[in-house]
Amino acid sequence: QSALTQPASVSGSPGQSITISCTGTSSDVGSYNLVSWYQQHPGKAPKLMIYEGSKRPSGVSNRFSGSKSGNTASLTISGLQAEDEADYYCCSYAGSSYVVFGGGTKLTVL
Amino acid sequence: QVQLQESGPGLVKPSQTLSLTCTVSGGSISSGGYYWSWIRQHPGKGLEWIGYIYYSGSTYYNPSLKSRVTISVDTSKNQFSLKLSSVTAADTAVYYCARDPGGGSYYFDYWGQGTLVTVSS
């Protein structure tokens, strides 16, 4: 099983919207609505931002949203803020009780 | 509020076995429904799922690591553990323990702070 594919970096200015893609296959992202997204600041543990494709945990800003089309999942952050600058990872169920992560995307707020 | 805390040696010699423990507080590991996971992150790299354990002892491992990994649970101590055998420098990473809420959700809602394990002689 290969890691999911994410862009290495994305950037945006404060107030703008950005989208991070996460491309898998018909065996993982395409087969299940079980993609989660994590935010990781330097030296910190990952934080759950989106689960089951588009659900937000309590306490996560509604500026974060998730979606999926075919084998690609996406995380959109609207109204970009300086504090959103971090690494973002997607994760998908891949069958047989196995999960696979993406390689991560570094978000820079200009 | 559930909290997880990893502990164990920060330095392991090549060919030896890496052993880590995750202590869960703020909730019982055997309350049911949850899967307890190990995830690692190589320096400057992405996340890699290692495996899960259910409180009953059922385990699920990443196929790429399965031959070297053992995850166990001690409900009396509210802990679960990771053993990774025959380590090499490629196993140098920050190791996280995390909770999966279960129910077929396959995501991680609580994480430990992570512990760096370096494999070196």
- Give residue-wise pLDDT tens across range A30-41: 999 999 999 999
Instruction: Give the max Cα distance, chain B.
Output: 42
The H or E element spanning position A101 is: strand A99-101
Q: How far is A79 from chain B (nearest CA, A)?
A: 24
- In this structure, are residues B17 and B92 in contact, taking their beta carbons and an 8 Å threshold? no
- Closest partner residue to B49 among A34, A57, A99, by Cβ? A99
Instruction: Collect all residues with Cβ–Cβ distance below 8 Å to A61 and sequence separation of at least 6.
Output: none
What is the rounded average pLDDT of the residues B98-103? 92
Is a pLDDT exceeding 70 seen at residue B121?
Answer: yes
Is residue A51 over pLDDT 70?
yes
pLDDT at B105: 87
Q: Tell me, what amino acid is at A3? A: A
Q: Percent of chain A having pLDDT more than 70?
A: 99
Cα radius of gyration rounded to whole Å, chain A: 13
Which one-letter DSSP state was computed for residue A2?
Answer: P
Q: Which of B49, B104, B109 sits opposite A48 (nearest CB)?
A: B109
* pLDDT band for position A2 (cuts 50, 70, 90): confident
- Per the document, the length of chain A is 110
Question: Cα–Cα distance between A3 and B90 in angstroms, integer?
Answer: 17
Structure tokens at A89: 């990872």
In B, which residues are within 8 Å of A47 by CB distance? 111
Within 10 angstroms of residue B115's Cβ, the number of other Cβ atoms is 19
Which residue among A97, A98, A101 sits closest to B46, beta carbon to beta carbon?
A: A101
Answer whether residue A60 shows pLDDT above 80.
yes
**pLDDT tens sequence across B22-54:** 999 999 998 878 999 999 999 999 999 999 999
Q: What is the mean pLDDT of residues B91-115?
A: 95
Q: Which of A75, A67, A56 is nearest to A10 (CA)?
A: A75
Contact call for residues A72 and A26 (beta carbons, < 8 A): no
Q: pLDDT at position A1, please? A: 66
CA separation for the pair A35, A31 (Å, rounded): 10
On chain A, the residues whose CB falls within 8 A of the CB of B64 are 1
Mutate: best of B53, B100, B106, partner A, most A CBs <10 A:
B106
Rounded alpha-carbon distances, angstroms, from residue A94 to B27, B64, B98: 28, 14, 18
Shortest distance between the Cα of A87 and any Cα of chain B, in A, equals 9
Mean pLDDT for all residues in chain A: 96
B47-100 pLDDT, tens per residue?
999 999 998 889 999 999 999 999 999 999 999 999 999 999 999 999 999 999
Residue B104 has pLDDT above 90, yes or no: no
